[in-house]
């Protein structure tokens, strides 16, 4: 299964995603609470997949996606966004994200999206 970096400023979201992913055979190699930390951990950990929140302190998800893509153009990133942020999701996809998951999370949707993106 995949090595995954989970990025969200809310600890409970990181914990929820980590639990969902690990209980289904994936390995969460790291967690970041802002976009800057995500870029630093991406360089260090080289995960197969990144789940990326959009609204975070220090550096937002869009800027972080661009930063990660500048390091590794083939980086696989899934955006995690709240309902009503369609414009931001489009911006994230344009920045290089492969797909998106809407908060609050449905475990089946999370796993389906992760597996689909990893198998592209």
Give the CATH number of the domain where residue 33 resides.
3.40.50.2300
Range of the domain at 104: 3-118
Residue 90: the pLDDT is 86
Interatomic CA distance for residues 5 and 51, integer angstroms: 6
Which letter does DSSP use for residue 86 in this model?
H
Per-residue pLDDT of the chain (120 residues; tens, 9 = 90+): 899 999 999 999 999 999 999 999 999 999 999 999 999 999 999 999 999 999 899 999 999 999 999 999 999 999 998 866 678 888 898 999 999 998 888 899 999 999 999 987
Residue 102: the pLDDT is 86
Strand partners, 100: 79
Half-sphere exposure of 14 (CA within 13 A, CB side): 18
Number of domains making up the chain = 1
């Amino acid at each position: 299964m995949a090595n995954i970096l989970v990025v969200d400023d809310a600890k409970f979201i990181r914990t929820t995603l980590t639990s969902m992913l690990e209980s289904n055979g994936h390995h969460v190699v790291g967690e970041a609470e802002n976009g800057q930390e995500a870029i630093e951990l991406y360089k260090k950990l080289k995960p197969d997949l990144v789940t990326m929140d959009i609204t975070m302190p220090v550096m937002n998800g869009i800027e972080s996606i661009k930063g990660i893509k500048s390091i590794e153009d083939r980086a696989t990133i899934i955006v995690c966004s709240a309902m009503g942020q369609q414009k931001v999701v489009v911006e994230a996809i344009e920045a290089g994200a492969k797909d998106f998951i809407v908060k609050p999370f449905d475990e089946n949707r999370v796993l389906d999206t992760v597996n689909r993106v990893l198998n592209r």
